[in-house]
Structure 1
Amino acid sequence: MPNPAPAATPVPAASQLHHWLDAVTRQDAQAFKSLYDATSTKLFSFALRILVKRELAEEVLQESYVSIWNNASSYQSSLAAPMTWMTTIVRNKAFDLLRRLDHDVEIDGESFDMNIVHAMESSDPTPIQTLEISQDGKALAGCMSRLEGLHRQAVAMAFFHDLSHSEVAEQLKLPIGTVKTWIRRGLDKLRQCLNRLEAS
């Protein structure tokens, strides 16, 4: 699958995206390419805001478009705009990947909410799309806020600022073993919190 187009072009109208999705249900490869070209940059940006690491965002993007190709027939325009539906797929894939990963990837809840909204802003966002994304961000930020202060800071520095464990230890003036333990426990608590929210 090609890399997402670098140009920040506006996403086409929902009616056009719906038309392409409808064609994809009939295994129309050209319509799928058009859909990918029109939406991959914005969806990649969305995935990157969650995962930070480019290679992880690329993996999630590819998995998401495979899912879109296989599940286009399940899309219902009465329930969500096409971009909202695709964004939800990317979000779920990204969160699933976070849960599978070990302590090398953490979540910065303090900035996540606004970043996730900004990542998907368009010139004409639908209210339902903005609401859904904002709610996801707030949920994750809420989980982050439940961590103890220094634990939250360690997790945020490792994830959002992409610092190594040794760099975090140096910044916080703490032993690296302590920092590794805090980050590992912090990520475990975040996963449990996210799982509880999804189950409720």
Structure 2
Amino acid sequence: MPYDQPTDPEQLRTLLLGAGRRDAQAFHALYVAASPKLFGFALRIVRRHELAEEALQDAFVSIWHAAATYQGALAAPMTWMATIVRNKALDILRRQGTAPEIDLGQFDADVIDQLHDSADGPAEALQTSDEARALAHCMAALERAQRQAIGLAFFHDLTHGEVARQLSLPVGTVKTWIRRGLAKLKACLVREGL
């Protein structure tokens, strides 16, 4: 099957679904198309070439095994794969005892930006943008401390202890902020019809 524009979101979606059916050619084409960008993403997190390669390799093993569970309505293919790469890169940093450094000054804007994904097709983009707007609205309604704690835990995949270190707070406080923030977020999303 020819793939003329392998970085096109629809082509990536087709390749990912093919990998989910255990099509080795589709998986290879997916790797060729996505690995340069995903490697760069991993490198920004781990900051060492060999660790970025390890994160990318671990991520593609996970992508192969999880491709059948990919749901295009929830995330664009590159977003889904980047999340896996990010998690693998953070796992590597944790194993080394290195806490990822996060610029809290830019953090709120980054969280809101990550909620928007322009890589979908028109129909998916409309649905995703409505959901992203509702989520961004609800996140913005949270207190700053709750928004940061939730963002660090879920967007950066940090443990409660790592969030506490980033925010220089006790773990119990962070757990409370996350629990209360998620409750407020859920109530807000219910009001928004999600």
TM-score normalised to structure 1 length: 0.53
**1:37 alignment counterpart:** 32
**2:102 alignment counterpart:** 109
Does the aligned pair in 2 maintain the 1:107–1:144 contact within 8 Å? no
1:110 Cα deviation (Å)? 2.4
1:20 Cα deviation (Å)? 0.7
1:95 Cα deviation (Å)? 1.6
Q: Please point out which of 50, 68, 74 is paired with 1:73.
A: 68
**2:78 alignment counterpart:** 83
Summarize the Cα distance change of 1:73–1:145 in structure 2 as closer, same or farther, 3 Å threshold: closer
Summarize the Cα distance change of 1:21–1:87 in structure 2 as closer, same or farther, 3 Å threshold: same
**1:47 alignment counterpart:** 42
1:48 Cα deviation (Å)? 0.8
1:44 Cα deviation (Å)? 0.7
Q: How does 1:14-163 map to 2 (within 5 A)?
A: 14-102=9-97, 105-110=98-103, 124-125=118-119, 135=151, 136=155, 146-147=167-168
Structure 2 residue runs of 5 or longer lacking an equivalent are 121-128, 137-150, 183-194
Q: What CA RMSD, in Å, does the superposition of the two structures yield over aligned residues?
A: 4.0
Does the aligned pair in 1 maintain the 2:15–2:27 contact within 8 Å? yes
1:26 Cα deviation (Å)? 2.2
Does the aligned pair in 1 maintain the 2:6–2:29 contact within 8 Å? no
Structure 1 residue runs of 5 or longer lacking an equivalent are 1-9, 149-188
Does the aligned pair in 2 maintain the 1:108–1:144 contact within 8 Å? no
* One-letter amino acid matched to 2:103: E
Summarize the Cα distance change of 1:144–1:40 in structure 2 as closer, same or farther, 3 Å threshold: farther
Does the aligned pair in 1 maintain the 2:76–2:119 contact within 8 Å? no
Does the aligned pair in 2 maintain the 1:110–1:145 contact within 8 Å? no
Cα distance in 2 for residues equivalent to 1:26 and 1:43: 22
Cα distance in 2 for residues equivalent to 1:197 and 1:56: 30
* One-letter amino acid matched to 1:146: L
1:67-123 per-position Cα deviation (integer Å, ceiling 9, x unaligned) = 111111000111111111111111111122222213xx3433228859x89xx9xxx
Summarize the Cα distance change of 1:143–1:43 in structure 2 as closer, same or farther, 3 Å threshold: farther
TM-score normalised to structure 2 length: 0.55
